[in-house]
Amino acid sequence: MKSLKKVLAVLLSLLLMFTAVTAATSASAAKADVAEAEEVDNTYIPSSITCNRKFGDPVYVRINGKALNLLDPIQAVYAMVTAKTEQQKEAIAYTYLELLFMDILNLLAVPAPVANTTFVNADEYDSPDFMAGHKEFIDSNPNGQWSLGYDQTSLVPDDILDRPYYLGGYLLQNFPSNTVEEVLDDMNVYTVVMDDGSGRGKVAFCTIECIGISNKDIRDIRALLADFAKENDIVSINVTATHCHSEIDTMGLWNPFFLKMANNTLAALTGHVIFKTQSGPDEQFMNLLKERTAQSVKNAVEDMEEGDLYFSQKDCNEYFFDDRDSAFYDEEAGFYDGNMYVFRFDPYNEEAAETYIVNEPAHPYITGLKTDESSGKQLSGDYTAAMNQTLSKYGYNFMPIIGATLGIYSDRGPTNDDVDLPERWMQADRYGKELAYITMSMTKTYDEVLESDYVKNNEQLKEEIANGGEHYSLWYEGWEPVEEVKVDPILNIAHKEVIVTVENPVLLLVGKMGLVNHRILDNGDGTYSTPTEIGYVEFGTNIKATMMPGEISPELIYGGATMDAENSFSGCDFNGKSCAESLELADDEVLLCFGLANDEIGYILNDNDYCMIFFDDMQPFGDHYQETIAFSRSSGSALMAAFEELVADK
């Protein structure tokens, strides 16, 4: 993502010559009124620096209760003078710069021809294959019974090395070729189908080891399962991604997209007669992925067994770190959720395997990064593959679900030790194995851990300890078990469709060119949007989970840090509620986040901390590279408002 931002910055530098003209035109077209607004404590600085804003329309910031138009020079100066803090003044200045540059990009994006076959008129969109979940929530189920089915299916095509397949990540490091050169391990879809025995319908959860899946592709999977879902009473089918950076590109942004963009532009201009639109993602592979994922759901239903569900959580902060760079917050404060959450299903059938569902926040990005020792062109599930291999070795099923992963990465300090791990895949392998050991050890005492097969009979571990000497550290040093609780057979799930504006002109241009599989809605007035969805799940009486369609800021889930004025780019509070605030959690309730769920709309940030892209390396704001791949500066508030509505009557 950071390298992509640099390329976009180069593009902007080539367009700098238009800045003066753009500024003058915009300022002359601006309205001169000063809008009065009620002053509230949680007012943030809103802006319409997007392609949803007509060229030359006002751009307001709110200062001391007054909505001031930045395109009116007098009001812009007044905004700077009346801003309460230096932080707000700097935010206004950078917002003005963003206005100019986004207008320049819109000169390219808005008039660009449409080559994307998934573009539809907004008034014709009818929410195909959306699944709302359970019609009614329950808070008790005295006659209920958990049942769970599991499946794991490979998505690696048979001709993986016989023709070009492109990896979803780090394109610029491998430019001009991002093709798979070696297969280290698998690309899996993991599926769990659950039922609480209440008669209200089953729920399917799928996790794919990939960079992300668009909502349209997920609805295609649901369409393949429509008849099967009716026959087997499935009311919710969910697909999440691990956001792995070393699997086949499922989004369409990490292949020869410059060539495809040229082809698709010609296709649009010639009426698709001479040139045909080329899909961003490999269409043949995506069809295989959809078919095998649909079959995986069917397999899991056939595999369903009755049993008991258990839940545990452990503080694993030392295994994760927050890569977000800002001068405003204290990184030691810990404003993301560093817990590892584990569901364990224990079937009554002694011949059936136990299933572990693990929820934690780290990007699986380790293997795909190119170094002097690593090519970065190796297909791998990264650390989730190592977790799967380890848990499978000891007889368990495994399913990963990534959490609120915005800027959260794996910290391999505790796992690399003094062992020589020159290639990145070795580091991913060791990291994943260690998380698997932790998963299997949650409730074990220190002595029980020492006597476990994965410690006592681990020859590799013994050899490394012998070679590591006194500097070698062990994951189980100072180990303390955690409590595992039995989960009552209550499964509630609900979904809500949300229409999100496509405000980022770069992503709008990519969408128009058909290089991504998102369904884009043409609003008929020069603005565009895309349908996505959110979800809310309850397991038992006190475990709750929010499902969000991208890499979401942890603060939008849990609150804290950048939601507050002093820690944000704008110097103002977030004008809305976090998921935790909407749920009004009791002391004994736990909130999880299932990220990249049922869509990938890029980074999702809270509006008040949305720092302008391309200039964000300048102090004091730090490196806010996430905005480069964000659909909208208002995505965070739109999703939080929708979540508040979704849970209001649950």
Q: Give the model's pLDDT for residue 65.
A: 66
Q: Give the model's pLDDT for residue 202.
A: 98
Q: Are 597 and 240 in contact (CB under 8 A)?
A: yes
Tens of pLDDT along 433-472? Answer: 999 999 999 999 999 999 999 999 988 878 777 776 555 6
- Determine if the peptide bond prior to 620 is cis (ω within 30°): yes
pLDDT confidence bin for 32, thresholds 50/70/90: very low
- Once rounded to an integer, what is the mean pLDDT over residues 106-133? 88
Tens of pLDDT along 598-608? Answer: 999 999 998 88
Mean pLDDT of the chain: 84
What ranges make up the beta strands (E) of 378-490? 378-379, 397-402, 408-410, 485-487
- Once rounded to an integer, what is the mean pLDDT over residues 554-562? 90
Q: Are 380 and 184 in contact (CB under 8 A)?
A: yes
pLDDT confidence bin for 98, thresholds 50/70/90: confident
Q: Give the model's pLDDT for residue 472.
A: 63
pLDDT confidence bin for 50, thresholds 50/70/90: very low
CA–CA gap between residue 448 and residue 428 (Å, rounded): 26
Among the ranges given (81-85, 257-261, 368-372, 472-476), the one the predictor scored with the smallest mean pLDDT: 472-476
pLDDT at 145 > cutoff 80: yes
- Once rounded to an integer, what is the mean pLDDT over residues 618-634? 71
pLDDT at 106 > cutoff 90: no
- DSSP code string of 540-582: TTTEEEEE-SSEE-HHHHH--GGGSGGGSSSSS--SS--HHHH
CA–CA gap between residue 112 and residue 108 (Å, rounded): 6
- Once rounded to an integer, what is the mean pLDDT over residues 479-508? 94
pLDDT at 28 > cutoff 50: no
pLDDT confidence bin for 327, thresholds 50/70/90: very low
Alpha-carbon dihedral sign for residues 312, 318, 324, 326 = positive
Q: Give the model's pLDDT for residue 274.
A: 86
Q: 650 or 557: whose pLDDT is higher?
A: 557
- In the three-class reduction of DSSP (H, G, I as helix; E, B as strand; rest coil), residue 279 is classed as coil
Domain ranges (residues) in the chain? 2-127+490-648
Q: Are 137 and 492 in contact (CB under 8 A)?
A: yes
Among the ranges given (27-31, 144-148, 507-511), the one the predictor scored with the smallest mean pLDDT: 27-31
Q: Torsion over CA of 265, 266, 269 and 272, rounded to 10 degrees?
A: -110
Q: What percent of the chain has pLDDT over 90?
A: 53
pLDDT at 350 > cutoff 80: yes
pLDDT at 302 > cutoff 50: yes
pLDDT at 47 > cutoff 90: no
